[in-house]
Every structure is written in C-alpha cells, then in structure tokens.
Structure 1
Amino acid sequence: YGDLSRRVMRTLKRFNSEIEIYSIDEAFLDLSNFSDKEIENIGKEIRDIVLQWTGIPTSIGIAKTKTLSKVANHIAKKTKSGVVSLIGVKDIDPILEKVEVNNIWGVGKQLTKFFVKNGISNAKQLKNISNTWIKKNSNVLSSRTAMELRGISCIDLETTSSKRKSCVVSRSFAKKVEKLQELQESITGYCLNAAEKIRSESLIAKSITVFIRTSPFQSQFTYYSNSKTIDLPIATDNSIEIVKTALTGLKDIFKNGYRYQKAGIMISGLSNSQESKNLFSSIKDDKIKSLMKTIDNTNYRFGRSTLSLAGAGVNKKWNIKRQHYSKIDTSDFNCLPIIKST
C-alpha cells in the first residue's frame, strides 16, 4: 500500500510540486497555476493519468479552500466521473445544505454534538453562522472552518517541505514474547524500517524512544508498560546507530517474567539531512551513507529485508500474523505473477 501510495503522489507532483500528502490515500494539490475555466478538465486529466499509470481509481474535489475541496471530494465519490469542481458555483448553499455537520472536514464527534445542540446540523448553517457567535461560543478552529466554507482560505497547504517531526513503528506480536532476544529482534526490525523511511525523506533523527508493554486485558497476568528515550550525540539516519541506541534503551526497561504483547520505537527530533552538517563528518560517515544507500536500493528493488542486520533475526516466531497479508507484487520480484505460455 505504501509503495502504491508513493507512486500516486509522484504522479500528482507532475501537475504541481506544491502538494500536501495528508494521509496514505489523500493529498491536497495546488492547482492555482491553471485557469478557472480549464480546472475541471484538469481534474479529469489527473484522474485519468493516475488510473493509467498506477491502476488506482481516485475521486477529485476542486475548490478555493481545503475544506470546500473536501466537500467536493465527498460529492465526487458518488459521481460516475469521479471529479467535482465547486469553482465558479455562484450559490453553494444548496450543496452545503446536503452535507451533514459531522461530514465536514475538521469537525469531530465532540464538536458535532456541540453544533447539533445549538441548531447547526449541516455545512450551510455553519457557513452562515455569525463570526461573533462562533468566537463567543466555540474556538478558532471552528471559525476557520466557517470561513473556509465561505470560500475564504484560512488553512494553508502544508507542502512536502513541511517535514514530519517523528516516525513511529510498532506491532503487536502473533504470540506473547518473554525473551529479551526476541524483543531485540523485533526492535531491530522496527528501527531498520523507520531509518529507511526517514532516509527516503532526507531526514535525520536526534532522539529515539523504545517502548514495550504486556496485554492490559489479561487479568491473570501482571500488567507492565515502560519506555525509554535516548538523545543521540549527533543527529543521524544511520540504521546501525539507531538500532544500537534503541537496544540500549530496551535493556534498561526489559523485565524478566512478563509476557509482552507489543513493542515499538519512535525516532523524533527530525530535521533536514541536507541542512544539518556537523564538524565531525569523516570518510567513515561517507562510507556509512554509501552502505545505507546500497541497502535501501537493494530492498526497494528486491523487496524489504532482502538486506538486513543479523540482529533482526531469521526465524521470527514472534512476528505478526500474516494470513491476510497482501502480496507486495509492486516492489518484490518474488511476488511477481508468473505467466506461463502453452
């Protein structure tokens, strides 16, 4: 899924590099470089090219604000063309009247209850509510949402240059884990995964948190949960350093006699690797970077974990269940379908 998502996002960037990757299957794209007259056709072109190049069908909503574009996208999902533009719509109220308040982007459960209690049940009513009432009875986020529904942009596009601040990798085990070695294998694998992710975004990490816990739902066993955060002396994307640091933290919090259900790591304090130069860079660092690049390229071509550290283990009895795991036939040669001629 991650590989297909990256392919879709790369395709979108061909229309404009100003893109906010909102989630694995959502993005906001700046189309201000196109005229209002051609905008809907551009949307259809985007949809056609994404489908042709990736095989992924999409729905596209186009509007002057992010909130309205989400409204348009909500409508587009129900149309045959998959594309809806609200650009140039003179009277948007009939459209907003059909959008329930809980379906408005940014309006959660608690805010929905508050709005409904005060007679606001759809997007039209929120759009037309007075600023004075919102400021007095709600918060700045509600005010922004109302302004966006009026076509006034208040929520900026967070482009890909707005890098992530942390990266978390965690899993629940297929069976309970009691041995330190098995936890070390899982933490090593999570570190390799996280390090690969931040390298792909040209980021380096300043601190690492490792956490473990038992199941909170098994009353017959004592519950235990703990975490440890360690600051790195120098920010890095080096898998070996990240693994070594995380394993040090794991040893500090591990306790014998517990049946662990979940473990994970978080690397944080992320910054741009291109901008972070230190006085201690050396030929050794260049060799490490070259090694990491080789590992990443090999794993991208032949599938994740083709090249790994021995500490990640081989016979991973603790590993997550994969009965319903999708084949990675987009990035793993071993999963490619074989066509036999007769």
Structure 2
Amino acid sequence: MARNPEDSPLAVIERCRRENRPVFVAGPMVRYSKLPFRELVRDYKVDIVYSPMILAREFVRNHNARASDFSTNHRDRPLIVQIGANNVTDLLRMIDMIHPYVDGVGLNCGCPIKDQVREGIGAALMSKKELVAEMVHAVKEKYGSKLVIETKIRVHHDIQETIEFVKMVEAAGVDFITVHGRTKNTRSSEPCNFEKIKAIKEAVSVPVIANGDCRSLEDAFRIAKDTGCDGVMAARGILNNPAMFAGYEKAPWGAIEKFWNLSTAYGLPFRLLQHHLGCMLVGQISKQLQNELNSKSSLLELMDWFDANFELKRPTDTGFGTAVAVQYRQNRQKQAHI
C-alpha cells in the first residue's frame, strides 16, 4: 500500500506547528521499539515513532537479520526506521529494501555503545561530518522528496564543532535533525544540556527535535519552550510510561492490557514482554510483586501470575484498555502496598 503523504514526518511536524504544540516522538530503543510497543504508544498521542536501530551491513547481507529486525503493518505509521551505517553503499542498499514500507529513515550518529563506535557507527560519526554529509547527500540524490532522512546526533564538548557538523549535514540535504543534549561520554545521570540544543536549533533552518530527560508531558512542553525546538523525543521516559504524551503521570492499567494483547497477537520474545511490563509497573506495585514478575520464566507462567493477581481484561471484555489504576483482584489487595 502506498504511503500517505500526510504521514511524512515533515507533514506531521508542520501539522503540529499549526496546532501550536511540539511534535511528540517515541525514540529508537535497542530491542524495545518493536511493532507491539510502537502500536501501543500511537494510542497515546505519539506523533512519530522510530524502530530500533538496524545495522545496515547485517540487514542487507542476512535474511535472518531482516526477518527478526524489521516488521510492520498498515497501522505502523508515521514510521521512521533508524539505520546504523558507516558507508554509502550499505545505507543505500538497505533503504532500497525498506523504503516502500517507511515514512522516513534516520541515520544514527549518536549511539555511544562501544561495539558500535568501534565499527565506525553511531557516535563515531560525530567526528566524521564529511562522511555523514556524503551519506545524506547520496540518499537525497536518489530519492529526493520521496523519502525523508533525519540524522540523530549528540553534542560535542565544543558546541561550535556541533554547529559546523549540523550546517554541513543541512547543506547536504537532511530534512530534520534530532539532538541529544549529551556528549557520547556523558553519563545518563548527568543533566541534558538544553542550551546546546537551543544553539543548534538557532544555527539551522531545518526542523530540530530535542532529545534527553523527557519523562512527562510537562517536561515535553518545557523542553520545547526552552530550546525552541519543533518537537521532543522520549525514550526511557516512554518505556516506563507509554502514555506520557497523553498526560498520564504513570502507565495506565489499560496500556498494560493493550500491550499484553499486542505482544501475544504479533509475537514478542518473552523476556522483552516481561521487561516492558516490569518497566510499566515500576513504582505502581509492591517490591514483592515486582520480584515475582521478574522471576517468571515463561509466557504461560507470567500470564497465569497476572491473572492470579490482577483483573487483566481481554479485548472482548467490556472496559478493555480503559482502566487507569492497577486492577488488583480483591483477594490480592493486601499485597498492593508499595
């Protein structure tokens, strides 16, 4: 099915601009931004969703990698697939394979994982602005306005170096830029540098998305105001609370019911399902129950445990996906104290 022009990330950014609000973006997370989670967050006011980073070299050479790394459907839009690449050939080959099924591609220039950096991927590209510009130019030369390309970057210690980087990438034709306000060596416990993100926004004319330390709808509006950016991306925050952009302070119980349904319908590795559910329930159930959840070793065991402790509605049940508070079974209320 042909992509709808209204699902173009640039069209979405413009629509949100007319609505006088920032674009809400669910960022790429290794392993966790798979199809069930992407569909879940779309129910909660997310405008643009990313896939996990996919390594172009593996994707173009290995059928198993293609089968396991990328799945989508007609509801999975607007979708940006993030790509890890360090050369034009692999990047274009991967895009040739996926472009009919996506609304944009993102070139990862920010992943700080050491294995990726050693391969010249992710944050390693922050010192190779000419190569990044070459890759962006190659994509735009081949696809033009038919395909949106974004680069996701981190900042340098010297902001002038980052400004030189983004200006070169902008000149190469990038459609928009996402900026994480930490260097590749900055610990996540250290605060994000929004002043540097603001400086980058002021240095370019393409849209800029701010990334880092967004854990609530209030955060999103504050970050957008402080940086002047066109949108705000959340990753860890939305992993714990898929409904954060819809204004929920914690993951609503309805989101957990929906995620159970999506994960079992589409298929998701058990440990990923378990981790997602654990993240969503952190701070909402007792440590005893959290430990019990984490101790389960199979899908059937975990489902039986949920049914024993909670009222977990199925799609055919009245009120499915609508509850906000954790729905304990009456005989389990005494364990509800956190």
Please report the TM-score for the alignment, with normalisation by the length of structure 1.
0.29
Q: Larger helix proportion, structure 1 or 2?
A: 2
Please report the TM-score for the alignment, with normalisation by the length of structure 2.
0.29
Which structure's CA Rg is the greater one? Answer: 1
Q: Larger strand proportion, structure 1 or 2?
A: 1
